[in-house]
Amino acid sequence: MKSYIVGNWKMNFTVGESSVYLHKLSARIHAYRDIEVVVAPSLVALQPLSLQIDRKKLRLAAQTANPRDFGAYTGEVSAAQLRGIVDYCIIGHSERRQLFHESDKFIRAAVAATLRNQIKPILCVGETETERTFGETFDVLRDQVLGGLSEVSAEELEKVIIAYEPVWAISTTSGASMASPDDIAEAVKFIRRIIADAYGKEISKSIAVLYGGSVNPDNAGAYLTIPGVNGLLVGGASLIADQFVDIIETAKKVKS
């Protein structure tokens, strides 16, 4: 199965800075047969970068999309408008759920909209620290996975990527707050069990599941060797070329 290294730039870099960074990154990596490298710039940079990017080496992702194709929704951008510009779209990132109050209904519709417009969704799921403390991790994962995929057919599921990102482990430099390989392995195994129950064991084995949460060059190798993990969703480290390239090279070593 192919591995995925996805860099989420969040609200960083101007259009010019994005272009310079993309050029630098493209010059330092190769075209990998078994690794898909994806970057998710801010919205304003997507269209110009789509004209610059070398798709043999890199793919573009949007950081969110409105599930409605068109309409009177000031400030929003739809999956229909992103079609032909991006190959992937991050849906339901914890920051979108928490800061912008994206509901389960919105996320479910956004997953369906991206698929409808030939864009592969990267569905993010994960529990908060409070939910983890109260032993609700599995309940949260079940609700978010089944909710996000409720309008997805078995045939469409092969185009979906799931990213497990425990909210309590995102953007942390404290070892005490970082997810252990055992934590991640248990959650990923449970996610695949949910898929197996809903869609069958064969599909649960073939769907790509990524891990995201304070990924850096030092821990990338350990995360990539966890059974059932097919790649990484990288935040802060994806903004630093040396670190992101190191993570990609680590993925290549693990793959080979």
Range of the domain at 193: 3-255
List Cβ neighbours of 23 (8 Å cut-off, separation of 6 or more).
52
**Amino acid at site 159:** K
* Other beta carbons within 10 Å of 82: 26
Provide the sign of the torsion angle of the four alpha carbons 7, 172, 139, 144, taken in this order.
Answer: negative
Which CATH number does the domain housing residue 191 bear? Answer: 3.20.20.70
Amino acid at the residue 208: A
DSSP states of 139-166 as a string? HHHHHHHHHHTTT--HHHHTT-EEEE--
How many other CB atoms sit within 10 Å of the CB of residue 30? 13
Contact of 205 with 157, CB cutoff 8 Å: no
Structural domain count, the chain? 1
Rounded distance between C-alpha atoms, residue 134 and residue 31, angstroms: 44
Task: State residue 178's pLDDT score.
Answer: 81
Per-residue pLDDT 10s for the chain (256 aa) are: 899 999 999 999 999 999 999 999 999 999 999 999 999 999 999 999 999 999 999 999 999 999 999 999 999 999 999 999 999 999 999 999 999 999 999 999 999 999 999 999 999 999 999 999 999 999 999 999 999 999 999 999 999 999 999 999 886 544 447 889 999 999 999 999 999 999 999 999 999 999 999 999 999 999 999 999 999 999 999 999 999 999 999 999 998 8
Active site residues: 93, 165
Report the alpha-carbon distance of residue 187 to residue 166 in Å, rounded: 9
